[in-house]
Structure 1
Amino acid sequence: MNPVSAAAIVVSYNRRALLEECVEALLAQTWPVDAIYVVDNGSNDGSREYLAAVEAKHDRVFVVLSESNTGGAGGFARGISTAFAKGFDWYWLMDDDAEPMPDALEKLLVSKDAARTDVVALCGTVFGIDRRVQFWHQGTFDERMRLIVSMPEHHAAASFKTDYMSFVGACIRHDAIQRVGFPAHEYFVWNDDVEYTARLSRIGELRCVTASQMTHKDGENRDMIQRPRSLRAWIETRRMPAATQWKYACGLRNYVDMVFRHRGPAPFWAASIFARRLVRILVFGDRRFSVIVLYVRYFEQAVGRRQFDTVRPTDWKRSLGDS
């Protein structure tokens, strides 16, 4: 029996193939995971049938079904609260597109950082499918709470201190959750992990244990910045298609709300942030009226003039008339 217990929490939506790889990797950990909670956000691609089969086969797997898509934020909030009620020592978080290496959990929990009582959360190094480190999963904040991502020299050390970490491999102590509560479920997607781990950093230290590794299969490496070679290419990188604005508007709303929570209200700054985004949309976007309305609505939510009410991606697609 392990000296400390750990529960894994996976949030999934309509990515059965990736989900299977994630669950199999969790079942094969060299430090056995005591329980695996999979929150399914209303999948209709066969994920639920797979989960029913794996739950019947493995007594460590527990499936939490949601009747609608509550986003990553809602999924993690529900998953953590469900597992927390059972009283594990650590809670290891990831989306279905993450695949931990076989010794990823062991590297975290046998580390010197795990033995420190002032360390409230751990994470490891995250690689993309191209095997390049995705540095943006950890980092620090500047005075305006803009994110400053980790650097290669940080990952050359055995571990390093970080102000935030993504939910791609965050491993959080039970008593830390007891003190700060659960993630902001109303965020739906983006910045819920940054806000939550910033909360954790107020009560203790966050450490990245670089020997613990996992692959993140989102197919995007945000650290790979390439200079456009032509004006046309530069314009293409600035495009703001209407179809994607449901999540970009949501992320901006959540970021402003996060800054208000941790740095205090700054309505004029918030107005300038949203105004710059709208200017970019007018110059490079599809210039749909519905997009402008969405940003105005989210601005009002971000500054506290409206309750949070997120437009779901399926509803957004329908509103644009896309099939």
Structure 2
Amino acid sequence: MTEVSAAGAFDPASATIAVVTYNRSHLLLRLLESITRMDPKPGRVVIVDNASTDDTATVVESYRDRLGAELIYQRLDTNTGGSGGFSEGMRLAYEAGSTWMWLMDDDVEVLPDGLAKMGTWSSRFKSIQGRRFDFDGSEFYWQYRLSIPLGIPIPFAPAGFDASGYREMNSGCFEGMFIHRDVVGEIGLPDPRFFIYWDDSIYGWLASRKTTSVIVDEFVLRRTREIAQWDMGVRHLNASSNMYRYYIMRNRGYMKHYFRTHGAYRPVRFAVGTMLTFAKELIRLAFVERTFRGTSHLLRGTRDARTLARDTSWRPMPPLDQVA
């Protein structure tokens, strides 16, 4: 592993912000407005629209001459989920020659000095995650460590930072992932087959196998959408949806393939992780959404995961050609 990036000072123009959006133009507008206030600004902004039916295209075009950065807008013919959107956004950014790709959803704002803060770490690391403020201004805790044998986040990984200002991670989150093109070239694009959920965890894990990946003690984003949650003190549990419940279980079939391909699959412990994931979703239903309606989606996802895991034709995403 290496933690040394390309030599020389960070050039903001080498960075691309890649955003995925779907029928949330009111949130996208806030993100685009925050980009106009950035100092410095990125060289380009890529917007991948997952076949929105609202006024997203109009909102995007209204900012074309205001961003202070090149704007690439790609409207897809169908909704490919966050996974497909980020795969396409990274492809567009990579093919445009971007050195750094900063991925984010449409329900965040960028803090004005966010890119400058990320840039200060770019000479040391090639896979970086900044911190976020939650909707209410509190510090958002993200589970940055995965238990690979179990295939689940470690919920009590330390939240604090020492004097180094960073902690090593082996996961990823597409709400703020800042990644160098060299790593993307080695591990390929995010896998669109996930549709939603576990895609960024697996992608971050793949990146951590190639380079030292870190979360840094720098607040760079603010979430702009309020989500119902159960406050457990030091941690919280967000509300979900039936679609998420299905994919969080189904996509463990894809996780199993990735772990198996890279020699990290441990059948018994992974099965325990699957049971823990199922149990966590039942707790989410009971204590956050106060219902057990939705359990059928967990069961259906579990069944489909077994089918996916038995697919002998499955192959991981291929590496991309290295571009100087």
If the TM-score is normalised by the length of the shorter chain, which range does it land in?
A: 0.7 to 0.9
1:83 to 93, 99, 104: 93
Partners of 1:221 and 1:135 in 2: CA distance: 16
2:167 to 160, 179, 185: 160
SS state of the match for residue 30, structure 1? coil
Structure possessing the higher radius of gyration over alpha carbons: 1
Q: TM-score, normalised by structure 2?
A: 0.77
Match of 1:266 in 2: 267
Match of 2:50 in 1: 41
Specify whether residues 115 and 8 from structure 1 end up closer, same or farther in structure 2 by C-alpha distance, changes over 3 A only. Answer: same
**Pairs within 5 Å for 1:72-111:** 72-111=82-121
Contact 1:134 1:223 in 2 (8 A): no
5+ residue gaps, structure 1: 228-236, 309-323
Match of 1:71 in 2: 81
Deviations 1:160-185 (A, max 9, x none): 21111211111100111001000010
Contact 1:29 1:103 in 2 (8 A): yes
Query: What letter is aligned with 1:273?
Result: T
Residues 1:185 and 2:192 aligned together: yes
**Pairs within 5 Å for 1:229-248:** 244-248=241-245
Match of 1:3 in 2: 11
Residues 1:144 and 2:150 aligned together: yes
Match of 1:17 in 2: 26
5+ residue gaps, structure 2: 1-8, 316-324
Deviates more, 1:258-267 or 1:79-88: 258-267
Contact 2:245 2:297 in 1 (8 A): no
Partners of 1:286 and 1:221 in 2: CA distance: 17
Q: Percent identity?
A: 22
Deviations 1:142-177 (A, max 9, x none): 542321144332388522211112111111001110
Deviations 1:214-256 (A, max 9, x none): 11234238683269xxxxxxxxx9x99xxx3322121122234
2:64 to 55, 66, 70: 55
Contact 1:155 1:210 in 2 (8 A): no
1:28 to 37, 54, 64: 37
Deviations 1:74-95 (A, max 9, x none): 0000010011001111000000
Which gives a bigger RCO, structure 1 or 2 (Cα 8 Å, sep 6+)? 2
Partners of 1:123 and 1:98 in 2: CA distance: 15
Partners of 1:37 and 1:14 in 2: CA distance: 17
Query: What letter is aligned with 1:191?
Result: W
SS state of the match for residue 64, structure 1? strand
Partners of 2:245 and 2:192 in 1: CA distance: 17
Match of 2:128 in 1: 122
Deviates more, 1:11-20 or 1:155-164: 155-164
Contact 1:14 1:43 in 2 (8 A): yes
Partners of 1:272 and 1:142 in 2: CA distance: 9
Partners of 1:157 and 1:138 in 2: CA distance: 17
> CA RMSD, aligned part only?
3.5
Deviates more, 1:137-146 or 1:24-33: 137-146
Larger % of helix: which? 1
Q: TM-score, normalised by structure 1?
A: 0.77
Query: What letter is aligned with 1:180?
Result: I
How many equivalent residue pairs? 290
1:129 to partner: Cα distance: 0.9
1:3 to partner: Cα distance: 3.1
Partners of 1:86 and 1:141 in 2: CA distance: 35
Partners of 1:220 and 1:196 in 2: CA distance: 25
Partners of 1:141 and 1:275 in 2: CA distance: 12
